[in-house]
Structure 1
Amino acid sequence: MAERGCSSVSVVDTHRTRPPLPPRLSKGGQRTSAVQTLLFLLVALALCGMMIEACFIYRLYQTEQVSSATISKLIGGDEASATKPPGEDVLPSKPVAHLTDGPDVVHDEHVMAWSMVAGPNLYEIKYENKELIIQKEAYYYVYSKVFYFLDSSSFTHEINVKTERYAGGYITLLQSRNNSPTPGKIQSNSYLGGVFHLYKNDAIYVNVSNTRRIARHKSFENVFGAYMI
């Protein structure tokens, strides 16, 4: 007599020796995947090319800007140098003064005056009342050159200094005296130059025997100056 209940029945295929394989992709699916991959690579290459081209254009634009600015600066510098004397923008390292004659000069009978329109060079030395006034105590090279007419009398050329340390009024630093060797009016030059210790507010000036005998053909023929050494 059979037992009551459910019984399970298993059917085994004794002829199958391997597990079932997954379904294979069709040829149409493989071709679509390859086309998509190729399109992705082409788009990526195009984007990379655009980025590289943009970088080259930016660098070229920056180079052109720098070149234009450099050319403008050089042209501007050339124009400025054409209108300014050489070295005008360079400040001296020490006090200096160099004065010349000029159309605005009016001499006293003995004390020579100097032009303020003929390109004076003044740095840390003042020019007032025909005198160079020292602003810094130091040793200075002081010089003067004059071009004059010499007749039968003598001609005297001096550089004097007014100082608070001398109650006599002035001290003669340098002097030249020239006598005419022959009768008649001739032209001559006198140059004076030397090193002196000058104090602040010392005033140096050029004194001659007669300013009416100063020849005034060109401004650079009569000069006066000083510079710190």
Structure 2
Amino acid sequence: MEKHGYPSVFVVDSSAGRPPLPPRPTKGKMRGGAAQTLLFMLVGLALCGMIIEGCFIYYLYQSASASTTATASKLIGGETVATPTARPINGLLPSKPVAHLTDGHDVKHKKHTMAWSMNADPILYQMDYKDTKLIVHKEGYYYVYSKVFFSDSKTFYHVIELHTKRYAGGHITLLQSRRYAPVTSGMRSNSYLGGVFHLYKDDALYVNVSDTSKIERHKSYENVFGVFMI
């Protein structure tokens, strides 16, 4: 005790302990951190794999597109046969033989037989086009069609013919339409033919009309000729 009976300000409490230490990380927290790190690594690897796969698919698509859009030609019996392959539609090639030809100012029709352009965006897959004819390479059932736009003041007919070695006459008529008009009418009209037929390898299809000079040739897609396997 000091003088005047007041205690000293500097008093030490001997019963007070040391300040507590920060808690150590538990094993559960340590395992959680390791699992989170592993998860991040796995996600990163998956993303890298998706990027590599996307690049690979893009490379394959570009290669297929370049090879299928090219126009090839081959020599058969001393004549050049145009064989442009079909372009992918939405990235997919046709699963069966198909052909779709249109008119064009780069071709000259015969007197009665329609010719078809190889420059007017044709589709030709597993079939050939030779001397106005579509040639079949695979036996099966096919839908055959043709549409023409014409003007005539007399009788106009539109025919799809089949040239085949299986018939003695060499060719048969598959489909035909015939239109009649008054002599002074100057009629303009369309004719469409379409049907399903069983075709054999090396069968050839072509389109005849009464007079090709009567065919209207404003747009290439107004006169068409096509075949596809069903």
Q: TM-score range by the shorter chain?
A: 0.5 to 0.7
Superposed CA deviations along residues 136-177 of structure 1, whole A, max 9, x for unmatched, are 1111111100001121x1111000011101121311111111
Query: How many Å separate the matches in 2 of 1:124 and 1:184?
Result: 43
Are 2:145 and 2:194, in contact at CA under 8 Å, matched by a contact in 1? yes
User: Superposed, which structure 2 residues align to 1:100-139 within 5 Å?
Assistant: 100-139=102-141
| Equivalent residue number for residue 150 of structure 1 | 152
Which of 91, 94, 104 is the matching residue for 1:92?
94
| SS in structure 2 of the partner of residue 114 of structure 1 | coil
Structure 1: gaps (5+ residues): 1-50
Identity of aligned residues (%): 53
Structure 2: gaps (5+ residues): 1-33, 64-68, 70-86
| SS in structure 2 of the partner of residue 196 of structure 1 | strand
Query: How many Å separate the matches in 1 of 2:110 and 2:172?
Result: 19
Q: Which has the larger radius of gyration?
A: 1
TM-score by length of 1: 0.64
In the alignment of these two chains, the number of paired residues is 184
| SS in structure 2 of the partner of residue 140 of structure 1 | strand
Distance 1:73 1:185, change over 3 A: farther
| Equivalent residue number for residue 14 of structure 1 | none
Deviation at 1:186, TM superposition (A): 2.1
TM-score by length of 2: 0.64
| Equivalent residue number for residue 20 of structure 1 | none
Query: How many Å separate the matches in 1 of 2:167 and 2:42?
Result: 72
User: Superposed, which structure 2 residues align to 1:2-17 within 5 Å?
Assistant: none
Are 2:88 and 2:94, in contact at CA under 8 Å, matched by a contact in 1? no
| Equivalent residue number for residue 175 of structure 1 | 176
Superposed CA deviations along residues 181-201 of structure 1, whole A, max 9, x for unmatched, are 462312100001111111111
Query: How many Å separate the matches in 1 of 2:121 and 2:48?
Result: 39
Distance 1:156 1:68, change over 3 A: same
Which has more helix, going by share of residues?
1
Deviation at 1:98, TM superposition (A): 0.8
Distance 1:56 1:200, change over 3 A: closer
Structure 1: which amino acid aligns with 2:149?
A: F
Indicate the RMSD between aligned Cα atoms, in angstroms: 3.7
User: Superposed, which structure 2 residues align to 1:10-49 within 5 Å?
Assistant: none
Query: How many Å separate the matches in 1 of 2:99 and 2:213?
Result: 25
> Which 4+ stretches in 1 moved above 6 angstroms?
54-76
Deviation at 1:92, TM superposition (A): 1.1
Query: How many Å separate the matches in 1 of 2:54 and 2:97?
Result: 36
Superposed CA deviations along residues 84-132 of structure 1, whole A, max 9, x for unmatched, are 9771642211111111111211110111000101111111111101001
